[in-house]
Every structure is written in structure tokens, then in C-alpha cells.
Amino acid sequence: MGEKKLILVLGATASGKTDYSISLATEYGCPVISCDSRQIYKELKIGTAPPTAEQLSKVKHYFIFSHSVNDHYTAGQYEIEALELLEKLFETHDTIVATGGSGLYADALCYGMDDFPPADLELRKTIMERLSKEGIESLRGELKLLDRESYDSIDIANSQRVVRALEVTLQTGRKFSSFKKDCAKQRPFIIEKRLLERPRAELYERVDRRVDKMMEDGLLDEVKGLVPYKHLPALKTVGYRELFEYLDGEITLEEAVDLIKRNTRRYAKRQMTWWRRYKDFIYINC
């Protein structure tokens, strides 16, 4: 498979990855593999900004609406399933396009996942008790001191991500971010990374417009239908947790929408920090 190529389209949320990857897939006559950790869930039709029905009809996509929020799904599982899929697809295609905004999934596809230690349940219980008593800011502060790279790259608004990063760091004495650097498995195909860039002001304007469009398309109704599942990891994500807060009476709808925009812009900034770790990408100026 040495002559086979995977083109990995990277970029911040709302940068235009979907349109660009579809144009590439059309050019090469190949499908698109998603590297998005939220677009895999079939219940999340609006808030994860998945490809539209029209876009899905143009090009075959994999790992879009393929799992349920009730499924326990990890980047390690994604690595196994994506590599098995690529092996089959490369039998009939010389080039495959992949795209997505989840750094951990992209890492899993390119380099593989390192073996994290089994969870220390007592340590996790202690951290969760701290989360309840002290709040997320206390845990973020400790993670920032112990592992600044993880603090800068993970979704620190997601308490589950913060807890896991801090747990691994405290348990092993190694930075959580170091595990991602040590795996580096060889792949039997060429990986060409393309990073889409836009001026920050333009990107943030696109983020705001997209959030407004999601609300017009019925995001609030989607979230209302997911209330029974709001405790699941898949729903601890931007666009859903803010509207759950609104439905719980904690904030107004206007405040929730403003928070979605703000948190999405912050997420976009962290994504670009993550992608620039790669060093070996081709810039695409949008």
C-alpha cells in the first residue's frame, strides 16, 4: 500500500472542511472518512454541523451518523475501525479523503493511540468529589500547572476531558499530552495533511452565522428531545450543554446562544493550536 495516499483535511470548525473535502473526493472519485468524534452520533443531526443531506448524496461518507449516543465509543475503537475500512477502500482507490475537527481522532488515524493505564477508580472518585465541591476551575488550574500543553489543546469546557487528563497525569506522573507523542505507529500508506486557514475575524463571523443557522434549523427542538441523554459523554459538547442549561432554567435562551458562539470560537482556537503540532502539513488559504 506504499503508493496509496490518505489526504487528511484539517482546520478549525466552520473553516470549510466539509466543502473542501467533498470537492477533493469528487476530483479523486473516492469517499470521505470523517474524523469527528461527535458527527458519528445519529441522534445529533444539527448541533455537530454534519454534512447536509445534499452533501451526503454527492459523496459517500463513513463515520457519519454511524453510532448511537448510548454507545461507549473511544478514539482507540475509531483507530481500529478506520484502519480496517481504509484497507478495504484502498483495494479499489489510490487516494482517500479524510476530514474532521477532532484532534484525538485525527491522531488515532495518523499515529495510533498509546496505551493509557487502567483507570484508578479511587483517584477518579477523589477527582470527581473535587469537581463537585471546588468546581471545574480548580481542576483546570491544576491541569494548567501540571500539563500546559493539554490545557491549551483539549476542550477545557468539557469537565470529562479535564478530569481524564488530570487523572492520567496524577496517576502516572507523566503529562497526559506525552502519551499522544509516544505512540507514532507506522501506516502502510502516505498521509498528506492539508490545513485550511482563514483570517480569524472571518472565521469567527462564520462561526456566529452557523450557530444562528443551527437555531433556525431547529437545534433547540433537537436538544429538547435529547434531555433524557444529557448525562452521556456524547452530549457534553458545545451547542448542547448550553441549551441544557437554558432548559434547566439556569440562563436565558439569548445567553445560551451567545455562549454557544463564544465556546465554539474558543474551540476553534484550540483546534488550530492542536493542528500546528503536526509541522508537516500543507497550508490551504481559504
Please tell me the pTM assigned to this model. 0.80
| Backbone angle region of 254, left / alpha / beta, with phi > 0 → left and psi within -120 to 50 → alpha | alpha
For residue 233, what is the DSSP state? G
Domains and CATH numbers, the chain: 5-114+185-200+271-285 (3.40.50.300), 121-179 (1.10.20.140), 201-268 (1.10.287.890)
Q: pLDDT by residue for the chain (286 residues), tens digit each?
A: 558 999 999 999 999 999 999 999 999 999 999 999 999 999 999 999 999 999 999 999 999 999 999 988 888 899 999 999 999 999 999 999 999 988 889 989 998 876 677 778 888 889 999 998 998 999 999 999 999 988 988 878 788 889 988 998 998 888 888 876 555 688 999 999 999 999 999 999 999 999 999 999 999 999 999 999 998 888 989 999 999 999 999 999 999 999 999 999 999 998 988 888 777 889 998 8
The 8 Å CB, 24+ separation contacts for 249-258 are 253/220, 257/211, 257/212, 257/215
Q: What is the torsion angle, in degrees rounded to the nearest 10, for the CA atoms of residue 135, residue 137, residue 140 and residue 142?
A: -80
Q: Which amino acid is at 148?
A: R
Cβ neighbours of residue 61 under 8 Å, at least 6 residues apart?
A: 31, 32, 33, 34, 51
